[in-house]
Amino acid sequence: MPMVLKGLSVSHKRVSLNILDTLTLRDPNEFYKILKSQQGVRGSVILQTCNRVEFYLEVDETIDPSEKLLWHWALATRFKLSEIKRIIEKREGDALVAHLVRLGSGLESMLVGEPQILGQLKDALVKAQAQGTASPVLTELFERSIRAASKIRQETGIGRGTVSLGSAAVKIAEEEIGPVADSNVLLIGTGQVGMLIMKALNARGAGNVTVAGRNRQRTVSFCKTYGGTPIGSDEIQSHLPSAELVIAATKATNPILTKEMFRSSFSNKRPPIQVVLDLSSPKNVASDVGLIPGVVTKSLESIRNIADETLAKRKEIVKQAEPLVKQKTEEVVKLLRRESAEPIVADIYHRADRVRIQEVEKAVSRLRLSPGDRKILESMSRSLVEKILGPPAVNLRKAAEKGDHEVLTVAGDIFREG
């Protein structure tokens, strides 16, 4: 049965980051189990970042699992199904390929050109493979799109001089507390975002940074590489009173910083203003922390203004990237389509080779051939198969590149036994 590529997504372009936070799956591995149980779903990849939640699916052509998927998504996130249907973006086939290439190129990011998305795409594929849901077609789609996006980034330089998530976050903090070089900073999280934050802090000369992570050994290793003083997650509360800047960037599924933690940690040493940056998705800071006098909370939503400034400055590079995206998308689509012909071509060759072997064995049984003569006969039979099937195989691949599924179907029927 022919397959179709389908995509469902919600991003920062259509909804607030608060809504995206709500729609983020807290247990994607459990959702993979749901996807595997859906009729007609051959493969799936879930992509979740602070800017988007997306599903990439390979499905049977006659079955559309979108309705059931949205229903399960609404159930898992306790979000209104009718609202999800209103804000969802659907893509299919070539349009989905184009979106993935654009995404990897940095054109769909909140901070245009930001490089983290490539790593996030690779990570999403690896996680899907670990769950056994990354079908060969989806794996091919992601790998080819990532390579195409990397080339676009190299050719346009769209990633050079980009304001990273880390530097944008530090800039926001400095608007409230002044230079971070003079501040006590508590960074919670040692993942990719934590690394970006640490690099931005180092660039601004921050010398008093305490780093907390769930895994002590990893935290120590993180600090050896990027700087900072490591502490255990159980020490976070005791370090809150002295921190002018608290940054949360973990993958925790529930708030790890609460109003009670700040209140119970109040002391005479507490700075007049504390900035708490929540760069996590889902959010790590309870919503009522910002109600505490002297505590200023900021989230990823605060980065939108910087994102707008970045886009305005990089419009010319974006303009240069667009035709490249179109060209690379066409290349990826052509290669993916060609791949769809390979099972039919391989099957035809397999059937022909089976007949070849049978006929060679019949001939050998009737003739008294030396080992050398038998090799000549074997070679001749292979050459015949190759010369007879070579041109049709080339034409089948060309038909696949053009999206001519009818030719592939007919070819499969012609060479089918019985």
- For 287-300, the pLDDT digits (tens) are 899 888 889 999 87
Phi, psi of 72 (to 5 degrees): -65, -35
Segment 56-69 shows an average pLDDT of 91
User: In the prediction, which pLDDT does 1 show?
Assistant: 54
Cα–Cα dist 224/238, whole Å: 23
pLDDT at 145: 94
pLDDT of 275 over the 90 cut: yes
Measured distance CA(139)–CA(234) in Å, rounded = 40
Q: Quick one: what percent of the chain has pLDDT higher than 70?
A: 89
Alpha helices by DSSP H, listed for 38-159, are 66-77, 81-87, 94-105, 116-130, 136-156
Cβ atoms within 10 Å of 217's Cβ, excluding its own: 9
Taking each helix axis from N to C end, the angle separating 315-366 and 405-414, rounded to the nearest 10 degrees, works out to 10
- Using one digit for the tens of pLDDT, what is the confidence trace for 310-368? 666 677 788 888 889 898 988 888 777 766 666 777 777 778 888 888 888 888 888 88
- How far apart CA 252 and CA 214 sit, in angstroms, is 10
Domain ranges in the chain are 3-161+314-329, 165-303, 338-414
Give pLDDT tens digits for 362-400: 888 888 888 888 888 888 888 888 888 778 777 777 766
Position 418 pLDDT exceeds 60 = no
Residues 237-256 have a mean pLDDT of: 89
Q: Is the pLDDT of residue 416 over 70?
A: no
pLDDT of residue 293: 87
Residue 119 burial (C-beta neighbours within 10 Å; 0-12, 13-18, 19+):
exposed
pTM, two decimals, is 0.68
- Tell whether the model's pLDDT for residue 198 goes beyond 70: yes
Number of H helices, E strands in the chain: 16, 10
Q: 165-303: same fold as 3-161+314-329?
A: no
- Tell me the average pLDDT across 137-145: 93
Which pLDDT value is given to residue 157? 84
Give the pLDDT confidence score for residue 413 in this predicted structure. 67
The pLDDT of 145-165, averaged and rounded, is 84
Q: Does the pLDDT value for residue 250 go beyond 70?
A: yes
Mean pLDDT of 88-112: 91
Mean pLDDT of the chain: 86
Among 127-136, 145-154, 264-273, 286-295, the range scoring the smallest mean pLDDT is 264-273
CATH topology of domain 165-303: Rossmann fold (3.40.50)
Looking at domain 3-161+314-329, what is its CATH homologous superfamily?
Answer: Glutamyl-tRNA reductase, N-terminal domain (3.30.460.30)
